[in-house]
Amino acid sequence: MLTDLEIAQKAELKEIDEVASSVSIPDKHLRRYGKHVAKISHQYLSELQDRPDGKLVLVTAISPTSAGEGKTTTSVGLAMALNIIGNKSFVTLREPSVGPIMGIKGGAAGGGYSQVLPMEEINLHFTGDFHAISLAHNLLSAVIDAHIKFDNELRIDPAQLYWPRTMDMNDRALRQIIVGLGGSANGYPREDSFVITAASEIMAIVCLSKNLVDLKERLAKIIVGRSYDGEFITVNDLNVQGAMATLLKDVLDPNLVQTIEGTPAFVHGGPFANIAHGTNTLTATKMALKLSDYVITEAGFGADLGAQKFLDFVCPVGGLNPSAVVLVASIRALKLNGGASKKDIREEDLSALEQGFENLKVHFENI
Amino acid sequence: MLTDLEIAQKAELKEIDEVASSVSIPDKHLRRYGKHVAKISHQYLSELQDRPDGKLVLVTAISPTSAGEGKTTTSVGLAMALNIIGNKSFVTLREPSVGPIMGIKGGAAGGGYSQVLPMEEINLHFTGDFHAISLAHNLLSAVIDAHIKFDNELRIDPAQLYWPRTMDMNDRALRQIIVGLGGSANGYPREDSFVITAASEIMAIVCLSKNLVDLKERLAKIIVGRSYDGEFITVNDLNVQGAMATLLKDVLDPNLVQTIEGTPAFVHGGPFANIAHGTNTLTATKMALKLSDYVITEAGFGADLGAQKFLDFVCPVGGLNPSAVVLVASIRALKLNGGASKKDIREEDLSALEQGFENLKVHFENI
Amino acid sequence: MLTDLEIAQKAELKEIDEVASSVSIPDKHLRRYGKHVAKISHQYLSELQDRPDGKLVLVTAISPTSAGEGKTTTSVGLAMALNIIGNKSFVTLREPSVGPIMGIKGGAAGGGYSQVLPMEEINLHFTGDFHAISLAHNLLSAVIDAHIKFDNELRIDPAQLYWPRTMDMNDRALRQIIVGLGGSANGYPREDSFVITAASEIMAIVCLSKNLVDLKERLAKIIVGRSYDGEFITVNDLNVQGAMATLLKDVLDPNLVQTIEGTPAFVHGGPFANIAHGTNTLTATKMALKLSDYVITEAGFGADLGAQKFLDFVCPVGGLNPSAVVLVASIRALKLNGGASKKDIREEDLSALEQGFENLKVHFENI
Amino acid sequence: MLTDLEIAQKAELKEIDEVASSVSIPDKHLRRYGKHVAKISHQYLSELQDRPDGKLVLVTAISPTSAGEGKTTTSVGLAMALNIIGNKSFVTLREPSVGPIMGIKGGAAGGGYSQVLPMEEINLHFTGDFHAISLAHNLLSAVIDAHIKFDNELRIDPAQLYWPRTMDMNDRALRQIIVGLGGSANGYPREDSFVITAASEIMAIVCLSKNLVDLKERLAKIIVGRSYDGEFITVNDLNVQGAMATLLKDVLDPNLVQTIEGTPAFVHGGPFANIAHGTNTLTATKMALKLSDYVITEAGFGADLGAQKFLDFVCPVGGLNPSAVVLVASIRALKLNGGASKKDIREEDLSALEQGFENLKVHFENI
């Protein structure tokens, strides 16, 4: 059996121009990153306002297990299947972090014959979205410390800062640090931490922002800490939203790639589902809805977390109206949820499987 | 008088394909980043081996002043002038850091009617080279701390580590930090620091590497610290060079842009001239030499530092053989070196000017 | 009404020789600290082995309140009363910390006409017991870090150290610190903390040790942390018990003072009742039992904590056999335990008082 | 040959009362610490004002060597000799640190048959002077951090604090630390350090203070740092001098001990000679001058440092007027200063000896 990587490497990809024209995206809105990746200007969405939306299908799953559940694979496969039977379909997914990929997990672009490609580009730097978000995030961090160092006009209390630093890297040594050492030239020491870029508040903001104006407004409202007087300090107080938005200007544009069968796919935005809302950018989903009959999207973690956030938060905020929900429940995940141990997961175990259906039932009822 | 930005925005740029074909770069070696930026595969250089080299002109300057000296402007202007009088010319420059740009300095792409464009892309994330270098650098940092935490088989002495972390940001609070706090789950506390990406050893390595094999070999030789027994620990000992090189694979490809008059320009690699060698990648310069009659390149800081490193280190290492050296000496820089104060720099001051010629004389003699 | 301090200053004290001879302590066992304080050699106890013990009375209280409960005042008063009616009596109390005294709390030597004196000496450096314990404690801390720095033969894991540093000072800034900074000359950085001397394990050990041999054995058994291999590291492994015991050699000798009426009192040892056993040294209590008919001693906190530890731990370890327990329940403490607020505590509040009796009842039943 | 310790242990000491009465110190000014140590009230000095001073002899030495120079041994021996030939003599010396004693150096109470005794008491906690100074020092440190934490009314800049913490222990891990970690309950993190008690500014102050009023005034003038506005912050601003003086009240009283032949000796105060003035308390020297014909005192380090500070600073400040200076120059020290290596120091080496006289000559000329 071929590995995911081997399958990916054997795949014959269309040029991205061909994928774009298959859904009639005009060339002027296309910004190429090599032959198989392009950003589509988020401003294109406003030109599409009068078109009707396609149907939105949410893919979610039963309780997550360490073996993975197959949401991405199902989403990609479903989009390809709808396409083959004559519908125009689109799949919209989250971008993977580089950091964790270098570590434990495999990529986050599906598997087997149900992948989005080009795998390597998507899994490495891709179109630089995560890098830009990291830099905008850390620019704010640097400005906060510089403000405190240089007279601290806003009276920011260094002991009440909520804004960490970020890096797209699973680096435990940076989880709890002290910054600002080395004497007064480097400012005031304080306890700080690095979070992974997917956990940056800016990642969540990017996924919800309609355009640069909206982005700047949302950035301006970020609360970075409190003053000595107990009042909230916002990005607006520091007046950094403009510089941050400049660094983020290309990040709002959805990244167009394709499935292994050439179905168009947006892979755009990657907020964590536990601390944020866990779905790709609204812009990508909304643009895909204008460009196709069916859009398959997925929400992170199990239905209780990801689907709930999608249905109760993302949909109202973005004006989305899903037509169907797919609840993925692989035999393997059912058995694990039913009490089977991971090492015996390849053995037949009907009892664990039956127990696992309890989990499925509750998720089903919730939806 | 128009500002640099206004001039840049008014400029009508050729599509990057047109720039590439003006020097006959085949499409298959072109990787587009939008309409006006492309990476040229570094492997293209080997196809060009049999062509004769053009002439190499080094632009350097008298002792640097806070007002800038005009090396980049001269380099760009010279390339454009040579082009207009009928020569095929190329200019090769260093990539600017994002971080410092957000802070104090203006961009590093020339000025007035002597710029390389598109200004905004070059000055912001460009083709992601700095991001990739940062990530590869920090991957190594994370692996070092993880190695120490998990049994430390190599007996790395945490008090004798030379490998910092890096960020493309002028962030004083990160200059001296403590990492690894928060109990044993996060490893062992140690004093650490962040350097700016331009100061990363990987930046220097990238600028000297011929191809991925060479890059990997150079990465493997990096000394990260010492063991408790006093022996050097290298990247090879940690066996991370492969993962680092994967993150760096596109970084070796020169970034093709154009001057305001459409002359081809490589803006590629940006090591500091004080702690490293301070010139763009060897690959960019060597490829440009194969593609044109004249290649104008610049070296950072004054002639005593930048030109000396170029002539005595970069040229022998890269097999370069400069045909001419341009020594930039603006009236303003001469006056400042002659003792004039920066605030009176617009006043006529023949005495300071005369004094400044002493500086010019020494640089001239040295070369 | 006179303050405690005024009463203390007006009191006419006996010379400590007179107090000592009132209970027939031979001069050779007396080590004077000024006119009103002396240490009695702990070795004197062995000379007294054949004498019968007096009766031991434990003073405890209902649940502690912020207003204090009056255990010390009751203990001192009871000893004085027994003395006046013709019994030879002794009171044995804990030594107060200097640090907290300079801060919030008043001294810990009783109040009003029921004090032990000389107040100032007892409340300040006294006979240096806390200083010696601090120094012995910190000697061990210094040896641990020095051992790790110099080759770490025992393979001590700096992330698994349980031994803090100590200071007889309420200093919040020292509660969580990082030590060992400044490069390898100062060792390896690690997270550390200072505890108050009363919380030092050595304080508890001193209060239980019979003599220098016993002390050294107990010190040797202190577990300071774990090795990289998970094994416990003891003081014995570091072989510091001898040096520590040298610093502690006078600490074992009970401190003789007097009540305001000249009744002999031992004020000796001061372990916290929450984290340790909360009573004065066994040596002081046992020596007092040999020297008088009645010994009044107290245990820290409420009966559920202090008395329980005294009866179930201190008595079996020390071979003590209390004849009576006094349960102190002031009207004020009853009212506070009954729900009265501290600011209205001087108002009559029979309902709160009645409620407070519930608290008394449970403590009574427990004993 | 007997060791210093064996000689000390065999010595038959006079009771301290006998030593005191040999120089007619009235009992009321005597505060005993066991049988062989006493503090003499510093107030006794004012009763002695009308008596004429004895002659003051300063003992200094050639450049210090790692083998020691013998100043203390010479001082003690000289005092004993003067006594034997019928003069009333006194020796005044510095108190040794406990910390360093536990570490490298031997005690600081002379050697051979020229010691002050009781050795063990002097070398360990003695009369608690160092402990009291440590505590007063650290009280100020704690108050500074608490002040900053609680609203920082004085606007103290935590990055401009000059007041370290102190411990009477050679503990490298405390040389450079970070305090105030653990969140805002513990204040604001800052870089701090522990110095050894002998290096505390309070040690120097104690050695110069005439009485409690003078002490309090000197403490009040200590500069602990600067405000955000660049102004000096003093102890007076924090109003801690009273509490500090309370902790130091007994420290002003000279410690009376005896030489191995019963000659009276004050061992009192121990400031470093490199960073402070390096001689025992003025009070001890001045009181000794009132009580005897000859007072032998020593100054730390070589004549260029210790004697110079003594003659040019301590004498004018204290109104002292030395009658003679003894310049100690052992053969061993001469040889080491003449270039002999320490390991061959027991070999005859007339050439090195001759060279060493150069050193002696310069010190001699200076004095």
Sequential DSSP letters for A71-111: HHHHHHHHHHHHHHTT--EEEEEPPPPHHHHHSSS--SSEE
Angle between helices A201-208 and A212-220 (to 10 degrees): 140
Residue B161: strand, helix, or coil: strand
Q: Which of D32, D174, D186 sits opposite C173 (nearest CB)?
A: D186
Q: Enumerate residue ranges in chain A where pLDDT < 70.
A: 67-68, 99-108
Q: Determine which of B22-26, B146-150, C335-339, D138-142 has the lowest per-residue pLDDT on average.
A: C335-339
Q: What is the pLDDT of residues D66-75, one digit of tens each?
A: 766 789 999 9
Residue type, A364: F
Q: Which residues of C216-226 are buried (b: 16+ CB within 10 A; e: fewer)?
A: bbbbbebebbb
User: Closest by alpha carbon to C323, among C348, C289, C350?
Assistant: C289
Domain segments of chain C as ranges? 4-126+252-328, 129-247
Angle at D298 between CA D297 and CA D302, to 5 degrees: 160
- Phi and psi dihedrals of D73, rounded to 5? -60, -45
Chain B positions in Cβ-Cβ contact with residue C155 (cut-off 8 Å): none
Chain B: closest CA distance from residue A181 (Å): 5
Fold of A4-126+252-328: Rossmann fold (3.40.50)
How many whole angstroms separate alpha carbon D134 and alpha carbon D126? Answer: 14
Q: Per the structure block, which two tokens stand in for B222? A: 């990096």
Chain B: closest CA distance from residue A278 (Å): 24
Task: Name the DSSP class of B94.
Answer: P
pLDDT bucket at D104, cuts 50 / 70 / 90: very low
Chain C interface residues (partner B, CB cutoff 8 A): 151, 157-160, 178, 181, 183-184, 187-191
pLDDT of residue B342: 82
Residue A166: exposed, middle, or buried by beta-carbon count in 10 A (0-12, 13-18, 19+)? buried
**B189 to C189: CB separation less than 8 angstroms, yes or no:** yes
Q: By percentage, how much of chain B surpasses pLDDT 90?
A: 73
Q: What's the half-sphere exposure (Cβ side, CA atoms, 13 Å) at B229?
A: 5
Q: Which of B158, B183, B184 sits opposite C188 (nearest CB)?
A: B158
Q: What is the pLDDT of residues A26-66, one digit of tens each?
A: 999 999 999 999 999 999 999 999 999 999 999 999 888 87
**A178 to D181: CB separation less than 8 angstroms, yes or no:** yes
**A142 to B243: CB separation less than 8 angstroms, yes or no:** no
Fold of D129-247: Domain 2, N(10)-formyltetrahydrofolate synthetase (3.30.1510)
Q: By percentage, how much of chain D surpasses pLDDT 70?
A: 96
pLDDT of residue A108: 63
Q: Per the structure block, which two tokens stand in for A254? A: 């959805």
**A175 to B168: CB separation less than 8 angstroms, yes or no:** no
Bigger pLDDT: B306 or C129? C129
pLDDT of residue B105: 43
**C189 to B190: CB separation less than 8 angstroms, yes or no:** yes
pLDDT of residue D273: 84
Q: Which of B160, B181, B184 sits opposite C160 (nearest CB)?
A: B184
pLDDT of residue A105: 43
Chain A positions in Cβ-Cβ contact with residue B125 (cut-off 8 Å): 128, 131-132, 135, 247, 250
**B159 to C188: CB separation less than 8 angstroms, yes or no:** yes
Chains contacting D (3 or more CB pairs within 8 Å): A, C
pLDDT bucket at D49, cuts 50 / 70 / 90: very high
User: Closest by alpha carbon to C301, among C57, C59, C64?
Assistant: C64
pLDDT of residue A106: 43
Residue C117 belongs to what H/E stretch?
strand C114-117
Residue D182: exposed, middle, or buried by beta-carbon count in 10 A (0-12, 13-18, 19+)? middle
User: Closest by alpha carbon to A142, among A251, A244, A250?
Assistant: A244
Residue B326: strand, helix, or coil: strand
pLDDT bucket at D105, cuts 50 / 70 / 90: very low
- Rounded to the nearest integer, the mean pLDDT of chain C is 92
**D128 to C124: CB separation less than 8 angstroms, yes or no:** no
Q: By percentage, how much of chain C surpasses pLDDT 90?
A: 73
Residue type, C124: L
**D158 to A188: CB separation less than 8 angstroms, yes or no:** yes
> Is-contact C150 D172, C-beta < 8 A?
no
User: Closest by alpha carbon to C248, among C193, C282, C277, C207?
Assistant: C207
For residue B266, CA distances in Å to A114, B112, B117, B129, B257 come to: 39, 19, 11, 13, 6
> Is-contact D142 C171, C-beta < 8 A?
yes
**B125 to A135: CB separation less than 8 angstroms, yes or no:** yes
The answer, yes or no, to whether residue C108 has pLDDT greater than 70, is no
Q: Which of B35, B177, B250 sits opposite A179 (nearest CB)?
A: B177
Chain A positions in Cβ-Cβ contact with residue B187 (cut-off 8 Å): 172-173
Chain A interface residues (partner D, CB cutoff 8 A): 157-160, 178, 181, 183-184, 187-191
Chain C positions in Cβ-Cβ contact with residue B150 (cut-off 8 Å): none
> Is-contact C28 C17, C-beta < 8 A?
no
Chain D: closest CA distance from residue C61 (Å): 31
Chain C positions in Cβ-Cβ contact with residue D165 (cut-off 8 Å): 174
Chain C positions in Cβ-Cβ contact with residue B159 (cut-off 8 Å): 183-184, 187-188
Angle at D197 between CA D193 and CA D202, to 5 degrees: 100
Q: By percentage, how much of chain B surpasses pLDDT 70?
A: 96
Chain D positions in Cβ-Cβ contact with residue C181 (cut-off 8 Å): 176-178, 191
The answer, yes or no, to whether residue C103 has pLDDT greater than 50, is no
Residue C265 belongs to what H/E stretch?
strand C264-267
> Is-contact C151 B159, C-beta < 8 A?
no
> Is-contact C129 C255, C-beta < 8 A?
yes
**A142 to B170: CB separation less than 8 angstroms, yes or no:** yes
Long-range contacts of B83-89 (CB under 8 A, 24+ apart): B83/B261, B83/B263, B84/B261, B87/B292, B87/B293, B87/B294, B88/B23, B88/B54, B88/B291, B88/B292, B88/B293, B88/B294, B89/B263, B89/B292, B89/B293, B89/B294, B89/B295, B89/B296
**D186 to C175: CB separation less than 8 angstroms, yes or no:** yes
Q: Which of A159, A178, A183 sits opposite D159 (nearest CB)?
A: A183
Q: Nearest chain B Cα to C181, which residue?
A: B191
Chain D positions in Cβ-Cβ contact with residue A187 (cut-off 8 Å): 159
Chain B positions in Cβ-Cβ contact with residue A132 (cut-off 8 Å): 125
Chain D interface residues (partner A, CB cutoff 8 A): 157-160, 178, 181, 183-184, 187-191
Residue C296: strand, helix, or coil: strand
pLDDT of residue B110: 82
How many whole angstroms separate alpha carbon A302 and alpha carbon A249? Answer: 32
pLDDT of residue D242: 96
Q: Per the structure block, which two tokens stand in for A125? A: 């730097």
How many whole angstroms separate alpha carbon D90 and alpha carbon D276? Answer: 24
- C294 pairs with which residues across the strands? C55, C89
Chain B: closest CA distance from residue A176 (Å): 5
Helix locations, chain C, DSSP H:
4-10, 16-22, 44-47, 71-84, 98-102, 119-123, 129-149, 201-208, 212-220, 235-238, 241-247, 282-291, 308-309, 315-318, 331-337, 350-366
Q: Which residue in the block uniquely carries the two structure tokens 């060992």?
A: C180
Residue B141: exposed, middle, or buried by beta-carbon count in 10 A (0-12, 13-18, 19+)? buried
Chain C positions in Cβ-Cβ contact with residue D32 (cut-off 8 Å): 32-34
| Residues in contact with D26: Cβ distance below 8 Å, sequence separation at least 6, in sequence order | D44
**B138 to A170: CB separation less than 8 angstroms, yes or no:** no
pLDDT of residue A67: 63
Chains contacting B (3 or more CB pairs within 8 Å): A, C
Helix locations, chain A, DSSP H:
4-10, 16-22, 44-47, 71-84, 98-102, 119-123, 129-149, 201-208, 212-220, 235-238, 241-247, 282-291, 308-309, 315-318, 331-337, 350-366
Q: Which of A158, A160, A178 sits opposite D178 (nearest CB)?
A: A178
- Rounded to the nearest integer, the mean pLDDT of chain B is 92
pLDDT of residue B122: 93
Q: Nearest chain D Cα to C148, which residue?
A: D173
User: Closest by alpha carbon to A177, among C303, D231, B190, D84?
Assistant: B190
- Phi and psi dihedrals of B34, rounded to 5? 75, -165
Chain D positions in Cβ-Cβ contact with residue A159 (cut-off 8 Å): 183-184, 187-188
Chain B interface residues (partner C, CB cutoff 8 A): 157-160, 178, 181, 183-184, 187-191, 228
pLDDT bucket at B99, cuts 50 / 70 / 90: low
**A191 to D178: CB separation less than 8 angstroms, yes or no:** no
- Distance from chain centroid for Cα C15: 24
Q: What's the per-residue H, E or C state across chain D?
A: CCCHHHHHHHCCCCCHHHHHHHCCCCHHHEEEECCCCEEECCCHHHHCCCCCCCEEEEEEECCCCCCCCCHHHHHHHHHHHHHHCCCCEEEEECCCCHHHHHCCCCCCCEECCEEEECHHHHHCCCCCHHHHHHHHHHHHHHHHHHHHHCCCCCCEEEEEECCCEEECCCCHHHCCEEECCCCHHHCCCEEECEEEHHHCHHHHHHHHCCCHHHHHHHHHCCEEEEECCCCEEEHHHHCCHHHHHHHCCCCCCCEEEEECCCCEEEECCCCCCCCCCCCCCHHHHHHHHHHCCEEEEECCCCHHHHHHHHHHHHHHHHCCCCCEEEEECCHHHHHHHCCCCHHHCCCCCHHHHHHHHHHHHHHHHHC
Q: Which residue in the block uniquely carries the two structure tokens 């002597």?
A: B114
- B365 pairs with which residues across the strands? none
Q: Which of D142, D177, D191 sits opposite C169 (nearest CB)?
A: D142
Q: Nearest chain C Cα to B159, which residue?
A: C184
Bigger pLDDT: D102 or D237? D237
pLDDT of residue D303: 85
**Is the preceding peptide bond at A118 cis, omega within 30 degrees of 0?**
yes
